[in-house]
Amino acid sequence: MSFPSELSQHTELLLLTSAAEKSPESPRVVRCLDQLTRWLADQNHSEGFWEVSGYAGGNKPMASLVFAATFFDFRFSPFMDRLRRLPWQEPERVQLLVREEGMDRFAIFTKFIE
């Protein structure tokens, strides 16, 4: 199996970012994720990423933001093109973990600096 496939039947994504990505006006808003969610909706994916940072165990909150999503019939290349063009506050801290059907492990992408 070649990765990434042009069209994956099942794709799991974990997106990790800096807490600096939250909007100072509204801490519940992550600007780039809002833009990405709108783009995903335009691609016929009705649901975008969900923030899961608050579900970590331990006795201290996470200093990073963690988002998760699972998609069917997912086109990876256009998604990565869009992800790389977003105006991240700290692009050096953005990481994407991807697992497609048939893969035993996640692949990690970290180059989000233009």
Per-residue pLDDT of the chain (114 residues; tens, 9 = 90+): 455 666 667 899 999 999 888 877 776 668 888 899 899 989 888 788 999 998 888 988 888 999 999 988 888 889 999 999 999 988 999 999 999 888 899 999 987 765
Provide the pLDDT for residue 13.
94
Give the pLDDT confidence score for residue 101 in this predicted structure.
Answer: 86
The rounded Cα 35 to chain-centroid distance in angstroms is: 12
pLDDT at res. 66: 95
Type of residue found at 39: W
Angle (CA) 80-46-69 rounded to 5° is 55
Q: pTM for this structure?
A: 0.86
Cβ–Cβ under 8 Å, residues 51 and 61: no
